Chain A
Amino acid sequence: MLKRLIEIVGKENFTDQLEELVPYSYDASINVHRPDAAVWPESTEQVSEIVKFANEHKTPLIPRGAGTSLSGGAVPIQGGIIIDLSKMNRILEISIENRYAKVQAGVVCDDLNRALAKSGFIFPPDPASSSVSTIGGNVATNAGGIKGAKYGTTRDYVLGLQVVLPTGEIMQTGAYTMKCVSGYDLSKLFVGSEGTLGVITEVTLKINPIPRHAMTAVATFARLEDAGKAISQTMMSGVLPSVMEILDKVTLKSIKENTDIDLPDAEAMILTETDGYTWQEVEAQMEVVLNIFNQNHPISIKTAKDEKDRLDLWKARKSAYATLARASHSFVLDDVTVPVSRISDLLLGIQEISRKHGMLIATYGHAGDGNLHPQILYDEYDPNQVELMEKVEEEIFDLAISLKGTLSGEHGIGLSKANYMSLEHDPVEMALMRKIKRVLDPNNIMNPGKRALDK
């Protein structure tokens, strides 16, 4: 194995040293397994040669970007070769007049946006990890973020891909145009495929102009139901906020206890933003949102127009993860998603699960698109706690599905949710997914063991 891989990528781009492989055994989830080797290809041709080699030897191949996945998607659960795309990090083309950017898979999300910002443009999906996440990883997990309700997720921006198929052939999908119905939409098949169908090496993305103005508001509520109503009524009002975040009382309490941020005792906080081309447009939209908030018995409402006040209002939301990560060194961060009108039901249900099992769960997330992040705090060194955490997680998945929701809004299935796929997908759909996987990857080399695909 060693010799051929070194021939392909060079000695400096190969490792099978145990200590170097240890960090590749993890992502940001709780899953762990050692790979056998790792390579850093520098071109699509090298990727193709690596894939051919792996296919020939039926060796698992796990494409990896920044390894920030929260689902175990990047963990080599059956060993094999990690194919780290970090060195393929060139922005190939930015065409503002045609509204697209073409990049190699290893380009970091924020680096692309910095380059686009020079022309006043942006690739809108903004996962929390955008300072490190790679575009290839964003595509492979269909990364979302805070602005999903108005601006969608990565899927909505992928115009075309270059993919190395599990047989080593190089395929170009899609077009450089805003519209394209020429053939099956194979690009979208690879969006969110979590490395199970091939290695994404280049991505052509639609880009948007950066909205010139934004206004921010924060409201707190004494009853979760009121916060839920405020959200659904806003989404029905004709105004589409660019941000609609919610934080539950456990999250708020943790922030209050661990920072100097001044917060009222509340069941929920909503952070919202409207954006647009002119101030009038932004303010008019915010007026509608604030009216709705006012009709739903808020404890407090604050608004901000300038950058300093905006940052102040964002502070609580931005500190959620940080304060919770300090509260417990072990946690699981999920991303169940429900229809927007069921947000308060989901939150109340999670609180009930938390009460029942005596396990702390803080929930916050993107209420505007129904995507919440229950963060389950436990102790990984206590086997009872681990067992309980798994039970709690299962009940949260059951709850989300019973509310007509989904297991995953933006983190992906990976390993953590693989066992629950049949909760959401009927046998016919599961069978077709497995068939697609087999057609493309007959030797099951691409990121095997994930998403219940190789059963």
Chain B
Amino acid sequence: MINHLQLDDNRRKAITQCSRCGFCRAVCPIFDLTKRPITNARGKMILLKEVMDGKLPVTEAVAQALLRCTTCMNCTTNCPSGADPQEVIKAMRKELVGIGYDNLFRAMGEIVEKYGNIYGEQERQDWGHRKGKAPYVLFLGCVGTYREQESVAETIRLLDLLKVDFTMIEEVCCSGVLEDVGYQVKKGLAQHNIQEFQKTGAKTLITTCPYCYRVFKEHPAYRDLGLEVKHITQFLKDFDFEVKTEKRVTYHDPCDLGRHAGIYDEPRAIIRKIAPNFVEPRRTRENAMCCGAGGGFRGAFPKDSVKIARNRLSQIIEETGAEVLLTECPSCLHNFRNARRRQNIEIYNITEFLARLYEEGLANKKEAA
């Protein structure tokens, strides 16, 4: 196997941009857990610099080290030297796969291609919602569809309650995550989704998953999509809701929605309408700590991923005293729910929580009658 890399000037510049100050120690979710320097951005940038300079051969251990990154982008946002480690790491994962260091996501790519989802699930729940033509089309993504079905059901119920004229498709994985772990989007799957979208005649595509949102918006495979893409928080921010909660509510910014897509205000606009007792965590918005699920980390290191979610959850509870934690990302939701043990906090996607508030309202009305 080849054990060195040929890198172009741009890539070399990106690697040497790290000045080794180590400030990324404060924001890296994996380092926070392990305290091992190889797990933070500086550690990986040093490894890559040595590889680039021919001082260190590429090894399986280098490839493994590069997989230990959630691509949460907190290091990039807080880098005093203007380095973008998560971008470098994603690019180098591809380089390494290119010279023969395949990783476990190769198998996932095959599964995605065969089954149309990352889990290899054969049965896909039909939400009982109508298909066909409508002005809006809703896309759920793999994690919601196969791992957070209850939450998805509530989100769908909310859109119905709000009388949104929307349809759904026989969706397959957007397959964007493969780009982050060394591989490529599956063009066939992208084509399938695009064709299905176009059949609906919809003008607007609404996603619940921030990652799918980014892929539809940014990836060349979806260039011919022909629909306006909105994350569901963007879509709902101007709606009026007839429900309120007196509970103390807080919000976790998903990395893909916040740092990667710049969507911070829309979820807050919705929450402020329904929750007068809204309180921000200490580390929030651009500085929000990652839940540990992203960049393939949950797939490759499930135990550490859940531990990171547990740490984030504990910190949020300690700092805010919130009774309800809201987010709007199926992966964050799933990881937090898996991480919760005895912590006394309810965890929902915003849309799911809204639907539940509506149901409570209806139930109370019935009781009163």
Contacts and interface: CB of A to CB of B under 8 A. Distances in A.
Interface of A: 15, 17-20, 22-28, 40, 66-68, 84, 86-87, 108, 110, 129, 131-132, 321-322, 325-326, 329-331
Interface of B: 13, 16-17, 19-23, 25-26, 35-38, 42-43, 46-47, 50, 56, 59, 61-62, 65, 80-82
Contacts of B65: 19
B46 A23 contact: yes
Contacts of B17: 325-326, 329
Contacts of B56: 18-19, 22
Given A22-B50, A67-B37, A108-B26, A28 B20 contact: yes
Contact of B19 (A22, A87, A131, A331): A331
B47 A23 contact: yes
Nearest to A27: B20
A321 B23 CA distance: 13
Given A17-B61, A19-B38, A68 B22 contact: yes
A22 B46 contact: yes
Across chains A and B, which 7 residue pairs bring their CB atoms closest together, nearest first? A23-B43, A325-B81, A23-B37, A329-B16, A86-B35, A19-B61, A131-B26
A68 B21 contact: yes
Given A322-B80, A325-B80, A329-B17, A19 B59 contact: yes
B81 A322 contact: yes
Contacts of B13: 329
B230 to A, nearest CB: 30
Contacts of B81: 322, 325-326
Contacts of A18: 56, 59, 61
Contacts of B36: 15, 20, 40
Contacts of A68: 21-23
Contacts of B50: 22
B301 to A, nearest CB: 15
A91 to B, nearest CB: 14
A67 B22 contact: yes
A254 to B, nearest CB: 13
Contact of A129 (B23, B37, B82): B23
B80 A321 contact: yes
B276 to A, nearest CB: 25
B20 A26 contact: yes
B62 A28 contact: no
A24 B37 contact: yes
A84 B35 contact: yes
Contacts of B61: 17-19
- Which residue, of B36, B46, B47, B56, has the highest number of chain A Cβ atoms within 10 A? B36
13 contacts: A19-B47, A19-B61, A22-B38, A28-B21, A66-B25, A129-B21, A129-B23, A321-B80, A325-B17, A325-B19, A329-B13, A329-B19, A330-B16
Contact of B22 (A84, A110, A129): A129
B16 A132 contact: no
Nearest to B17: A329
A132 B42 CA distance: 13
Given A132-B26, A330-B16, 9 more contacts: A17-B61, A19-B47, A20-B37, A23-B42, A26-B20, A129-B21, A322-B82, A325-B80, A329-B13
Contact of A23 (B38, B80, B82): B38
A68 B24 CA distance: 11
A9 B85 CA distance: 31
B208 to A, nearest CB: 34
Nearest to A330: B16
A132 B23 contact: yes
Nearest to A319: B80
Contacts of B82: 322, 325-326
Given A22-B46, A23-B46, A66 B19 contact: no
A84 B82 CA distance: 27
A438 B42 CA distance: 35
A311 to B, nearest CB: 15
Nearest to A69: B22
A194 B157 CA distance: 63
A28 B26 contact: no
Nearest to A85: B35
B17 to A, nearest CB: 6
Contacts of A22: 38, 43, 46-47, 50, 56
Contacts of A322: 80-82
A19 B36 CA distance: 11
Most buried by A among B19, B50, B81: B19
A17 B23 CA distance: 24
Most buried by B among A22, A24, A26, A132: A22
Contacts of A67: 22, 37
Nearest to B50: A22
Nearest to A326: B82
Contacts of A19: 38, 47, 56, 59, 61-62, 65
A387 to B, nearest CB: 19
Contacts of A330: 16
Contacts of A86: 35
Contacts of B35: 40, 84, 86-87
Contacts of A331: 19
B335 to A, nearest CB: 23
Nearest to A86: B35
A33 to B, nearest CB: 12
A22 B46 CA distance: 7
Contacts of B25: 66, 132
Of the candidates A19, A27, A331, the one having the most CB atoms from chain B within 10 angstroms of its own CB is A19
A372 to B, nearest CB: 19
Contacts of A84: 35, 37
B19 A28 contact: yes
Contacts of B26: 108, 110, 131-132
A330 B56 CA distance: 20
A324 to B, nearest CB: 9
Contacts of B46: 22-23, 25-26
Contact of A28 (B22, B38, B47): B22
A108 B20 CA distance: 18
B89 to A, nearest CB: 14
A330 B21 CA distance: 12
Contacts of B19: 28, 325, 329, 331
Nearest to A84: B35
A17 B38 CA distance: 11
A29 to B, nearest CB: 8
Nearest to A318: B80
